[in-house]
Amino acid sequence: MTAGGKKGDITIDAMFGAFIGLVTIILLVSFFSLQMPTFAKEIYCKTFFYVASASFMPSGIRQDSSYCREFSMLETEYVKPQKVFVKTISEGSSSKLIKLYPAGWEQLEILLPENRTIEDFSFSAMGNLSNFSAGICGPPDDWNVSQMVPSRKYSSPKDMLKSAKECASKCSSFPCPITLNISGENGIVVISDISLAYRKCLLEEEIASNILACWEKANRGQYSKGIKCKALVVSNCETTGISEQSITEYLKQQGLCRIIGNTGSDPECGESDDILWEIVNLKPDGSVLIEFVNSTKKIRVS
């Protein structure tokens, strides 16, 4: 036999071997895709499931991607302080037109929602005022422009942050107004691009959104197995106000009680009691486990 003939035989053998291997995998997947005991399903989910749910599998035996959800690895998410921005004045608008004829001054308020250190403070001004001045929580002498050029947008100087911090340090209750005093003559000015920034952990948002995600993953309580959905690892966060009541209030504010109820905490949150809250005292560097408990058909937060 020639060398070319031997090479052809090897190629055919390799193709036949690959075909037999693929058929074997399909048969194994078909077998394991049937109803099976928990221990067998766990083995299947950790091995053949990744092949069974692949797009190249025939649609008749392709496994649904959610079949092994109870055996999926527990996801971990780290919650740390992040910058939060206030970009509106107290009346809710993001800009303000001020008319000062022949001269005058006006006060705007930017609300600092809670007792936090202000890390950034800035705004822009555009108009045609003479002797434009601005100040934080005091006389408008932190920033001065003798004659504004109408086509130019002016950005507040960085040292106004110091005045904003000093103003916030005097707040006795929250939300606390950080006042922006504007003065000028013979014209108008538009104050815009307002930005007040501070750091906080968005714990309520994270806990509530993951409760909702876990509830959806469990088919809104209809799934037949328990699922460990998410571990939130908290780092250097203010946790004093985090409670079942605060999370329930957040769900109400966001209109989410129609999806998952928590009538045990608040009768006005939905029509069912779907959340089991087991956190007594969340520490600033603690953790939160969110899971679906099959025996109670509830989301447990512990």
Residue 277 domain boundaries: 75-80+202-301
> What are the CA-CA distances from residue 249 to residues 111, 135, 176, 230, 259 (Å)?
21, 37, 22, 21, 14
Domain boundary among 68, 94, 124: 68
Residue 205: the pLDDT is 95
Same domain, 133 and 156: yes
Amino acid at 194: I
Domain boundary among 140, 166, 200: 200
Same domain, 18 and 114: no
Q: How far apart (Å, rounded) are the C-alpha atoms in residues 110 and 16?
A: 74
The DSSP bridge partners found for residue 234 are 79
Angle at 283 between CA 279 and CA 285, to 5 degrees: 125
What values do phi and psi take at 145, rounded to 5? -130, 120
Query: Exposed, middle or buried by CB within 10 Å (0-12, 13-18, 19+), for 250?
Result: middle
What Rg value do the Cα atoms of the chain yield, rounded?
Answer: 31
Same domain, 88 and 189: yes
63: which residues sit within 8 A by CB, 6+ positions away? 29, 33, 49, 52, 53, 57
Number of structural domains the chain divides into: 3
Give the pair of three-digit tokens for residue 185. Answer: 């003559």
Same domain, 57 and 112: no
Residue 75: the pLDDT is 86
Q: Nearest-CA neighbor of 292 among 79, 69, 67?
A: 69
Cβ-contact 271, 263 below 8 angstroms: yes
Find where tokens 């605060």 sit. 246
Instruction: Report strand pairing: 227-234 vs 75-79.
Output: parallel
Q: Nearest-CA neighbor of 205 among 258, 260, 259, 242?
A: 242
Instruction: Output the CA torsion sign for 206, 212, 216, 218.
Output: positive
Same domain, 125 and 135: yes
Same domain, 166 and 245: no
Same domain, 43 and 93: no
Same domain, 113 and 92: yes
Residue 180: the pLDDT is 97
Residue 53: the pLDDT is 60
Find where tokens 């009768």 sit. 267
Q: How far apart (Å, rounded) are the C-alpha atoms in residues 200 and 175?
A: 15
Residue 42: the pLDDT is 54
Same domain, 217 and 165: no
Q: How far apart (Å, rounded) are the C-alpha atoms in residues 86 and 9?
A: 73
Q: Would you say how long the chain is, in residues?
A: 302
Residue 22: the pLDDT is 60
- Residuewise pLDDT in 10s, the chain (302 residues): 555 555 555 566 666 556 655 655 555 555 544 445 554 555 556 555 555 666 656 676 666 656 666 555 678 999 999 999 999 999 999 999 999 999 999 999 999 999 999 999 999 999 999 999 999 999 999 999 999 999 999 999 999 999 999 999 999 999 999 999 999 999 999 999 999 999 999 999 999 999 999 999 999 999 988 999 999 999 999 998 999 999 999 999 999 999 999 999 999 999 999 999 999 999 999 999 999 999 999 999 99
Residue 9: the pLDDT is 58
Same domain, 102 and 190: yes
